[in-house]
Structure 1
């Protein structure tokens, strides 16, 4: 769609509706292989596996929650395919042409945190390989910088810089990279699983990890009940759904390039429930085999590959895991932050410049390493901030606007989506109320039970979306004819 005479403060070539839409089901599928097949994805799946208590419980919890993920991604994906616009522009319809910057910056901040977490995970795979050398192990142990070992800092900066080379080439290069990075990690995963199963004396779905060990490993998860209990399984499903909280918002950054709705649906089907279950199964099998071989629970795949006797196998595993983790960073975090930051000052900040700003923030965050610690806690804390935004956007698009958006008006300062001076008060109020229950109250003393944090994203979606529907009913927006001043 060609936008005629857009307002300069709302438009640049990167934020314009996609002109070339050549992404088929395979490219959409690889958005998810890039997103799931990472060190962090494996770490989370293996951590949740411990909470399930058995393989059957794990398959049921991950399978059902993956279907919920599939449904939500289709909802936001169809909106992107229909309008052709990225997330911060789509948010203008519900938050207002200027209010959308608030929704975009929240997502951008989350992207910066995840960007740092994934970069750290990728660099840790390289570190695990390098310290097989006695001299580098000595360097790792005795040299420190910024609260980390000097070797860790060097590897982090190198991996951080490599990602900049990819993103500077634009979205088509991102698509080609994800088509390579996503499937590649299956090679490393299978090498890991098969090698461990051979050492363990065969393939087995038997859990084999004593309950005492499971309790010790999951005691800080903030889950009521022991592993395998109904409460634990609910927490597993909720955390798995919340893991994708960021991409629920900005999946339209990718679906906007899809050929048609069928490509979105098919790509999501194979990339989400099918791929998620298969990946999780491999993570579970590997965790069991690693316990049988080494006698301890190893949740990080680079820790396992570093113990391989063969340098060749360790090298293949480390490099593949690092590349796959770069894939998710580029797809899930770099692209989103680039669009979101560019949306604040379109005339001065391009897609590439926005990405550079996000990368710089991730570099600054590294000494503080807020992503270190319990995986489930980090996922739920980060995800909770975005629940209200998703609830508002989905309610506005599907219930209030009934799936119809004036795309041209998204780029008009004095058009249909101006609301109150460019801000939709209904959306701002609903987001504030939703955030109180999803983000603020759960972290203020003991006002709410501990388990509330696990479901913070869900409370945010339901309360934020519900309040927006009530306010939109009480204060319906008035259609404004597009004008120029």
Structure 2
């Protein structure tokens, strides 16, 4: 739809409702192949596999949690498909035309952290390949700056720069890249798993990893109970669901380009529960086979490829892992941050400039490397910050607005989403209370038990959504003018 006379401070061509709706189920499916098939996704799946204690437990925990992910992505995806607007613009309906900048910047900051984490993972795969050469290994061991080896810094900067080339021509280039990268990574992952299984003499559901090794590898996961226990499996499911916390918010950045709701649903079905379970299955098989072949638990695929006898196979593996990680960075982090930052300064910052700013922040974060350490801790800590935002947006769209969004008013600074000076007090109170319980109390005080962090995102969604619903009941919004263009969901 065309927006007539939008307020300059709320509009640019990148933030406008999508005009081309040519993304079918395959493109939506490949959003998820690009998002899931990364070094970090593999690392997390392999780490969670250890917490499950057995292969059967792993598949059950990942399978059930993947169904939850599918359900939540459909909720936000349908809103994007119906309205055609990106996440920060959709957030204006619940947070207010200016309050949405708060929700946008929280997501943008998270994207910058993940951007750095994924870039570091991709560069690590290249480093693992290069140190096979003696001179590179010597350089890696002897030259250090910015808290890393010189080789790591160089590879990080190169991978960081390569990602910027992908988005030069906008979202259609992103779609074409992910349509190619997703299937390519699947081929490489299957080849890795099959090759290791052959070398291990076959595959067995009995992984054969001693409990002492499992306990040692999972001691810093912050989970009560030994691997395979009820609480360990609960933590696995919670962490897997939380891993997608960022995309629950901005999946509408992609579903807005979908042809129809059916394309979103079918793409999500194959890309989430089916693809997630299959990918996790491959990660588990590879972890088991690698343990049988090398006698140690290798959670990072580049650690496995570094042990290959063939330099050519190691090169193919490193390049594939790097491409996979570029895919998720573009899909999950660059696109989101680009829209979010553009939303704050739409007159001066477009999609590309917003992405460049996010990339620059990720470069500045590199010396501090906040993503290094325990995978589950990082995922849960980052995810918890976004729980209240999702709770508020979903409650507002489905329970308060009943799926009806006044799209034109999202670009009108004097329209119905102005609320109190451009800020919805209901949302501010809800996000404040929700963040207190999901992020601040568990991370900055000792008032709550250690296991609270594992479920921080769920607590944020529940508390934020409940407070917003209560506030909306006590302080209802004004009725939408009947003359406006409204999207029904």
Q: Shorter-chain TM-score: which interval? A: over 0.9
1:481 positional shift: 5.3
For residues 24-51 of structure 1, what are the alpha-carbon distances to aligned partners after superposition, in whole Å with 9 as ceiling and x for unaligned? 0000000000000000000000000000
> In structure 1, how many angstroms separate the alpha carbons of the residues matched to 2:262 and 2:119?
33
RMSD: 1.0
> In structure 1, how many angstroms separate the alpha carbons of the residues matched to 2:167 and 2:142?
35
Is 1:315 the counterpart of 2:315? The answer is yes
Residue matched to 1:225: 225
Is 1:478 the counterpart of 2:481? The answer is no
> In structure 2, how many angstroms separate the alpha carbons of the residues matched to 1:443 and 1:86?
30
Q: How does 1:144-159 map to 2 (within 5 A)?
A: 144-159=144-159
Residue matched to 1:160: 160
> In structure 2, how many angstroms separate the alpha carbons of the residues matched to 1:481 and 1:281?
51
SS at match of 1:405: strand
SS at match of 1:417: helix
Residue matched to 1:68: 68
For residues 182-215 of structure 1, what are the alpha-carbon distances to aligned partners after superposition, in whole Å with 9 as ceiling and x for unaligned? 1111122112111211111112221210000000
For residues 51-104 of structure 1, what are the alpha-carbon distances to aligned partners after superposition, in whole Å with 9 as ceiling and x for unaligned? 000000000000000000000000000000000000000000000000000000
Residue matched to 1:356: 356
Residue matched to 1:284: 284
> In structure 2, how many angstroms separate the alpha carbons of the residues matched to 1:93 and 1:445?
33
SS at match of 1:343: helix
1:169 positional shift: 1.4
Residue matched to 1:111: 111
1:482 positional shift: 10
8 Å Cα contact 2:34-2:181 kept in structure 1: yes
Is 1:391 the counterpart of 2:394? The answer is no
Runs of 4 or more consecutive aligned structure 1 residues displaced over 3 Å after TM superposition: 479-483
1:480 positional shift: 6.6
> In structure 2, how many angstroms separate the alpha carbons of the residues matched to 1:74 and 1:478?
28
Contiguous gaps of at least 5 residues in structure 2? 484-489
Residue matched to 1:4: 4
What TM-score, normalized by structure 2, do the two folds share?
0.98
Q: How does 1:432-451 map to 2 (within 5 A)?
A: 432-451=432-451
Is 1:304 the counterpart of 2:311? The answer is no
8 Å Cα contact 2:196-2:293 kept in structure 1: yes
8 Å Cα contact 1:185-1:320 kept in structure 2: yes
Residue matched to 2:255: 255
Residue matched to 2:403: 403
8 Å Cα contact 2:15-2:89 kept in structure 1: yes
SS at match of 1:299: coil
8 Å Cα contact 1:415-1:481 kept in structure 2: no
8 Å Cα contact 2:406-2:480 kept in structure 1: no
> In structure 2, how many angstroms separate the alpha carbons of the residues matched to 1:469 and 1:113?
31
Residue matched to 1:83: 83
> In structure 2, how many angstroms separate the alpha carbons of the residues matched to 1:109 and 1:97?
20
